[in-house]
Amino acid sequence: MEQFRLPKANIPHLELPDAIRRTLAEADEKLAGRPKLQRLFRNCFPNTLETTTKRMDDGTTFVITGDIPAMWLRDSVEQVIHYVPLAKDDPELARIVAGLVRRHAMYINIDPYANAFNEAANDWHWDANDETDMSPWVWERKFELDSLCFTVRLAYVYWKETGLTDIFDESFKLAMRNIVDVWKTEQRHFERSPYRFMRRNCPAIDTLRNEGLGMPVNYTGMIWSGFRPSDDACEFHYNIPANMFAAVSLAQLQDIARWVYRDEAFVGEMKRLEDDVRHGIELYGTYRHPVYGKIYAYETDGFGNYALMDDAGTPSLLSIPYLGYADANDETYRNTRRFILSWENPFYYEGTAAKGIGSPHTPPGYIWPMALSMQGLTAAGDAEMLDTIAVLEATDADTGYMHEGFHADDPAKFTRSWFAWSNSLFAQLVLRAMGKGLLDGEGGKRA
């Protein structure tokens, strides 16, 4: 196997927009009573802009994931999403975010099945021998349903937060068309899909079985996905959190089609697809657990087989309220949350330093800070939110940054020292807590 040797990223230093500087100054005041948390936020909040973001000559924005010099559709959105509410008062920040949306549209119109892309058509690939319809623009071509959802999420939030419609050009509408076409095709993957992916001489979790088609599925109305948000292959190819995300994205796309493009026929087409997906989730994607009651499965094949678990990356079952699919007080979500934050979830770990959700993507016993951040963002109450912040504050191994995963007994054992998505999600949690006044003065000294 010829695996690409990682080149160095060519990301110049980006001057921080005024809104970012103002937020850092505000945080310095509010977090003065917790100097370590203050340092973590000061490092993590601007990390994406300082280390991974490049303004391109064509007006687009390229955002690498961190220690890999490629742009993931999913990661790049979550790396900047916490900046979007600030963009309405900062034209430079708005241009950066709008440029990222335009870059996404360009990439989707090149290949809507790819998950990660190059800065230029340089023919760099994670694995040069992947058996799939590769493009010189594509770093990796793992079809992950959630990737396209994140593009919609960023565009929609940018529009709603700023009121600007500059991103909604013909390229974006073509990307919308390509997204919907792929999703309709992948409702009947085996009958209609041209997508194949095989990688030789690799862990089984890095390739699709059955000559690149994946394992058989039954028609459910949901959308097939080859891989999870972790870039690991699905066990059963209807990933429930990703389909929830797709349902939310389709509702958002309908708003855009109706109010921006004035295309009611397209609205109706997407509404029918959304209804299919939601019906499939509720009919095929739930499981009656003997202890926790009705819960959502992580994956199913539509034949009655389920993966009962949760993975740390977003979208996850833990992130259902964050995605906007259901409220945090929804009974099935509450049952699911109790399940995935227990030993019944095979990727839940407890140790002397922390307890939380990990992933088959990292070694057993490793908890992901992203899962802890998401637990805080979806917390049932303020106490849980503050508790998760305290755990994150205590488990950075004194590096000043978040990592991919750390050992539940020893945070000094961690994976990926530079992982911008994890830094951004942590910053989003701290911003949420500051916005609620939970970290002001003495109230912030919980740890």
Least confident of 3-17, 21-35, 298-312, 412-426: 3-17
3-state secondary structure 389-446: HHHHHHCCCCCCCCCCEEECCEEEEEECCCEHHHHHHHHHHHHHHHHCCCCCHHHHCC
Looking at residue 72, which CATH number applies to its domain?
1.50.10.10
Residue 210 resides in a domain: yes
Same domain for 31 and 71? no
**Structure tokens of 431?**
């911003």
Which amino acid, one-letter code, is at 67? D
Least confident of 1-10, 174-183, 190-199, 356-365: 1-10
Residue 264 resides in a domain: yes
- What is the rounded average pLDDT for all residues in the chain? 95
Q: What is the pLDDT of residue 441?
A: 64
Same domain for 149 and 261? yes
Residue 125 resides in a domain: yes
Specify the DSSP element, H or E, that contains 363: none
pLDDT band at 13 (very low <50, low <70, confident <90, very high): confident
**Structure tokens of 144?**
């992950």
Q: Kindly state the DSSP code that residue 338 receives in the 8-state scheme.
A: H
Q: Is the pLDDT of residue 151 over 70?
A: yes
pLDDT band at 5 (very low <50, low <70, confident <90, very high): very low
Among 297, 326, 345, the domain-final residue is 345
Place of tokens 């911003």: 431
Q: Is the pLDDT of residue 8 over 60?
A: no
Residue 4 resides in a domain: no
Q: What is the pLDDT of residue 417?
A: 87
Q: What is the pLDDT of residue 434?
A: 97
Among 345, 365, 397, the domain-final residue is 345
Same domain for 115 and 207? yes
Residue 265 resides in a domain: yes
Q: What is the pLDDT of residue 12?
A: 67
Q: Is the pLDDT of residue 374 over 70?
A: yes
d(CA 356, CA 368): 7
Same domain for 367 and 268? no
Q: Is the pLDDT of residue 148 over 70?
A: yes
Residue 83 resides in a domain: yes
Same domain for 191 and 68? yes
Among 324, 345, 366, the domain-final residue is 345
Backbone angles phi, psi at 169, to 5 degrees: -100, -170
Q: Is the pLDDT of residue 106 over 80?
A: yes
> Which domain, by its residues, includes 101?
59-345
Residue 191 resides in a domain: yes
pTM: 0.95
| Predicted confidence (pLDDT) per residue in 264-279, tens digit | 999 999 999 999 999 9
Q: What is the pLDDT of residue 1?
A: 26
Same domain for 299 and 431? no
Same domain for 38 and 125? no
